[in-house]
Amino acid sequence: MTESQTSPEETDAPQNRRLKGHELIADYVTRLDGSPGVYRMLNAQQEVLYVGKARNLKARVSNYARPSGHSGRITRMISETAYMMFLTTRTETEALLLEQNLIKQLKPRYNVLLRDDKSFPYILIAQDHPFPMIRKHRGARSAKGAYFGPFASASAVNRTLNHLERVFQLRNCSDAMFASRTRPCLQYQIKRCSGPCVGKISEGDYAATVADAERFLEGKSTAIQKELAEQMTAASDALEFERAAALRDRIQALTNVQQSQGINPRGVAEADVVAVHMEGGQACVQVFFIRAHQSWGNHDFYPRTGAGAEEPEVLEAFLAQFYDAKEPPRLLLLSHQIEDEDLMVDLLSNRAGRRVEIAVPKRGEKAELVENALRNARESLGRRMSESAAQARLLKGVAEAFGLPKPPERIEVYDNSHIQGTNAVGGMIVAGPDGFVKSQYRKWNIKGDDLTPGDDFGMMKEVLTRRFERLTREDPERRSDTWPDLLLIDGGAGQVSAVHEILEQFGLTDIPMVGVAKGIDRDQGKEEFHRIGARPFALPRQDPVLYYVQRLRDEAHRWAIGAHRAKRAKATMANPLDEIPGVGATRKRALLAHFGSAKAVSRAGITDLMEAPGISQAMAETIWNFFNEAG
């Protein structure tokens, strides 16, 4: 954001600090002007209650100075307001941007907040190789290539990649595997790859199929199908029956893809359809991704509604936060009209570097797309509310079973995974009123050099020490929602004692902690629960709380063992060439292509190494010295 024309200033509190609510706000109004900007409302403990933007600060804030005529939510917020802060901006769009930045940073109670700000996968056709590969991509667009998306889920990407492999037969193997092939792989045998690694297709023909795949992802499948039909006829006339048969198979595969695409809007090439449904103080925002006249899936979100915000406010806040790190499409189709549509258009257009249009369609195909999204939002919220009611009953049962003062809002479950102490990993999962909170899952690589291999007590101590050391450093006052109400530890009395030492060390013995042991014969259903200063106990076999705790423990075990397997696989697949200074992807590819394997490279002499493309004498000496010293 650019500097304000007027220097930003935070207005001091009124002289009479005993004022509160609408009287205090009226006192502030007397010192405000008509500049655009952002205002903050704080309670007596100086906690931020609400962050808002204004085209005209004086006019907007004066609305809160009225003693009546507000919704219940706004009335509560005004009554709690003991201080206000103001920041002027140069433009109204800057005010909107600053507002959303402060909301994400401060998480005020009365603001709408998007809690699940996930990234979405794309399809990447890489362009850093003579025979480009096609693959799934998530995260920053650092790799050179053409990106297509977003897709609503990994499964939606995988389905499309599966179609593309059958139709266009582009490779999906890594560059290292491509360079080391001497004969076609299984993908070629089942007609999912054209075999460029062993010369089964020329570079020019492969480039043509890449161009066709890109056109398909741009929605030009009809033109591709027509061209393939013409090529098939020409090949048949030239008596090239094998080529004609291959083209026929591609046409059939493309036809099957078109039939399985689902909802394919003819009049909408690129849009996000965003619909919100609210009920019982909760909201569900459904987003459908339309790209290249194809539906690339949908995803639902459940933003915090700011203690009673209405649909337009929820939708406006969602758009600003959702597209904070995502490129918006050319068209947004909304279920409700938002208040500051012109500001939102300016903000999103600036982020996209091109014009973004917002529409609330009333009829036609676009209105049908919005109605479909709205129906999905309504059904998703109904399912979630039903699940939330069941979850609330389970959490109440957990509180009763473990003697907690109230149902826990955040349960943290810990587990370790290793094989005889090697590749040891600690894992933490989080659960609460909304079920598993996967965005809060964490894993730690066990670092303790002084640990005896297989020392589960020592591993658990290290994990909990690192967890609470950071938590107490970042939030010593325990104001955030990242502090647990209950710790579940996979283990018995020994594990519980080890964790209790850590909690004592940080002065956190008020956090309830329970160890879940396998019990007699290590059978599921005979679990014993251990607490400090209390005798072990068990729950009845048919108790829903027991099943819930088992699910929590199993999820923690799944998370920890998954992290361990990934670490072990990475160690197994590690290539020593990656550790040689100066050997990047290109030189690594050249060495593997020339020698066939890293083991063969390690045995080569300096003269032999110099025969590989791009390897100078100095680099050959570096490589030889690396393996010589390692040996």
* Same-domain pairing of 464 and 555: yes
How, if at all, do strands 411-419 and 442-445 pair?
Answer: unpaired
User: CATH no. for residue 566?
Assistant: 3.30.420.340
- Give the structural domain span for 207: 122-259
Digit-coded pLDDT (tens) for 587-629 = 888 888 888 777 888 888 888 899 888 899 888 888 888 887 6
Q: Could you tell me if 97 and 135 lie in one domain? A: no
Which two tokens mark 120?
């979405």
Tell me phi and psi for residue 219, to 5 degrees: 90, 15
Same domain, 430 and 555: yes
Beta bridge partners of 84: 41
- Does 371 lie in the same domain as 223? no
Residue 4: inside a domain:
no
Rounded-to-integer distance, Cα 178 and Cα 193, Å: 12
- Check if the beta carbon of residue 427 is closer than 8 Å to that of residue 468: no
Q: Which of 525, 543, 571 delimits the end of a domain?
A: 571
What pLDDT score was predicted for residue 603? 85
**Is 247 part of a structural domain of the chain?**
yes
**Per-residue pLDDT tens over the stretch 158-208:** 878 887 787 788 898 888 888 888 888 888 888 889 899 999 899 998 998
Do 500 and 606 lie in one domain? The reply is no
Which residue is associated with the tokens 């209650």?
49
Classified as helix, coil or strand, 319 is helix
394 assigned to some structural domain = no
- Does residue 16 form part of some domain? no
Q: Of 338, 298, 343, 288, nearest to 318 (Cα)?
A: 338
Task: Output the DSSP codes for 171-204.
Answer: --S-HHHHHH-SS--HHHHTTS---GGGTSS-HH
**Do 550 and 589 reside in the same domain of the chain?**
no
Six-digit token string for 360 = 């609330």
In a domain, residue 388? The reply is no
Please indicate, yes or no, if residue 201 is contained in any of the structural domains.
yes
- With tokens 């098939």, the residue in question is 232
555 shares a domain with 443: yes
* pLDDT for position 452: 63
Is residue 154 located within the same domain as residue 235? yes
Say if residue 427 is in the same domain as residue 559: yes
Whether 146 maps to a domain, the answer reads yes
CATH of the domain at 60: 3.40.1440.10
Q: Tokens standing for 176? A: 């290292």
Query: Residue holding tokens 């100075």?
Result: 65
Q: What contacts 260, CB < 8 A, 6 or more positions away?
A: 163
Question: Which H, E and C letters describe 64-133, residue by residue?
Answer: HCCCCCCCHHHHHHHHHCCEEEEEECCCHHHHHHHHHHHHHHHCCCCCCECCCCCCCCEEEEECCCCCCC
- Cβ pair 496, 517 in contact under 8 A: no
Q: Are 197 and 142 within one domain? A: yes
**pTM check: above 0.75:** no
Last residue of a domain, one of 571, 592, 622: 571
Hey, how many other C-beta atoms are within 10 angstroms of the C-beta on 354? 11
Phi and psi, residue 205, nearest 5°? -65, -35
* 221, two tokens: 């499948």
Measured in degrees and rounded to the nearest 5, phi and psi for residue 328 equal: -75, 155
Alpha carbon of residue 109 to chain centroid: 23
Whether the bond between 544 and the residue before it is cis, its omega within 30 degrees of 0, is no
Q: Can you give the CATH number for the domain in which 588 is found?
A: 1.10.150.20
Domain identity same for 169 and 252: yes
Q: List, in order, residues 6 or more apart from 534 with CB less than 8 Å away.
A: none
- The structure tokens listed for 543 are 């108790």
Confidence of residue 235 (pLDDT cuts 50, 70, 90): confident
- Rounded Cα distance, 428 and 386, in Å: 27
Q: Is pLDDT at 5 greater than 60 in this prediction? A: no
Domain count for the chain, please give it: 5
Domain boundary among 232, 259, 286: 259
Lowest-confidence range among 66-70, 353-357, 382-386, 564-568?
564-568
Say yes or no to pLDDT of 257 above 60.
no
Report residue 305's pLDDT band, with 50, 70 and 90 as the boundaries. confident
User: Are 425 and 448 in the same domain?
Assistant: yes
